[in-house]
Chain A
Amino acid sequence: MRIINLKTWKTIAISALLLAAFCLPVAVHGDPRTSVDTNSSLHIMLSLSLAGSGLPPGVPLQLNFGEIITGNVSNAITLTPQGVRSARVAGSLGSSTGVIVPTLAVAGNHNTSINIILPSSATISNGAATMTVSGFTQNLGATPILDANGNALFSVGATLNVGANQPTGQYTGTFAISVAYQ
């Protein structure tokens, strides 16, 4: 039997330890998964409601230009959302009795932007005679926002286009106002 001296054993032992150490990165693997963080979202909002304000139940909203005096030139009568009436032709405004603008109440999600959707034009008629109403405006600006309680109140104005020698009479028509979340 051969005798192996102490130095040789140390060499073998150190070699074995080194071998084990260098094998370590090969033998050990981490979690094989590759992962990524992802977000998910859902936005629940109250449905918007729109109703007339300041009118008894059953009374329709009105945009009433009042009495206009016709002439042999065309005219434009403007009614602001604040209810202020003006005319392009001097002296063409008759009685202001009945002049009114519609005021509407919106309810929905608090502190949320909405769009107020007004028609580009509407037609009012008296038998075969017609006039157009255009230039609809409202008083909440371009980016209306519901308040902290989810409410907003706005009024609507417009411009009545009166033709030269427009037939006299009572002209009526309807148009739609709607609101939507932005």
Chain B
Amino acid sequence: MRQLRLTARYLIIVVLLALAAGRGYANLTRATAGTAANATVVVPLDINKLADLQFGRAFFSANAHTITVAPDDSRTASDNTILGEGDPVSAATFLLVGEPNSGFHIYTPGPIALRNPDTQMTITVDSFTFNTSTSHSRLGSNGRFTVTMGATAHIKAAQPSGWYTASFTFSIHYE
């Protein structure tokens, strides 16, 4: 009986130790693979959006066209004469900050429907391209990496004039 009581006290001590370890782990780590036994502390992976995906201005056309923004911000069209100046053009740009030299994975977005709120007409955006591989890319030794993402917009024949916009989610995770 005395031995069992000692065992019970020992279990309580173990529980208290687990409490301390568990709280420490919960406070110091986020969203990373790890085990309670090893308690690897990893800097959370963070994204700072630096620029939206902007296709700029195009002129009305009776024919269907595509406009592609490359990860280097350059813009081309199936017929460059439809391209206009005066509205911003940019690849989506994200500054990733996390554990130095860590690998990360980029989730390629699915097709996006840009919509004109007046006409409810849409333009599909797909064929996303990046300045780095979506898998096995690594943060720099300073824990930073800038991802740029381009895509292609598909303009229909006689697409009505107006602003077409949409929001989408860009996601990454540690590998």
Contact = CB atoms under 8 A, between A and B. Distances in A.
Interface of A: 2-5, 8, 11-12, 15-16, 18-19, 22-23, 25-27, 29-47, 109, 181-182
A40 B165 contact: yes
A40 B8 contact: no
Contact of A40 (B18, B33, B55, B161): B55
Nearest to A44: B161
User: Which of B15, B35, B44, B160 gathers the greatest number of chain A CB atoms within 10 Å?
Assistant: B15
Contacts of B151: 40
Contacts of A8: 1, 4-5, 8
Interface of B: 1, 4-5, 8, 11-12, 14-15, 18-19, 22-23, 25-26, 31-33, 35-36, 44-49, 52-60, 67, 84, 86-87, 92, 94, 107, 112, 114, 123, 125, 151, 153, 155, 159-174
Contact of B14 (A5, A19, A36, A40): A19
A35 B47 contact: yes
B160 to A, nearest CB: 7
Contacts, number: 167
B56 A42 contact: yes
A38 B18 CA distance: 41
Contact of B52 (A27, A31, A33, A39): A39
A16 B171 CA distance: 38
Nearest to B153: A42
Contacts of B92: 38, 40
A79 B54 CA distance: 45
A45 B57 contact: yes
A18 B173 contact: no
A32 B153 contact: no
A45 B60 contact: yes
A108 to B, nearest CB: 9
What 7 pairs between A and B have smallest CB-CB spacing? A26-B36, A42-B55, A11-B8, A40-B53, A15-B11, A35-B171, A39-B52
B44 A34 contact: yes
Contacts of B165: 39-41
A112 to B, nearest CB: 9
B86 A32 contact: no
Nearest to B121: A44
Contact of B1 (A5, A23, A25, A109): A5
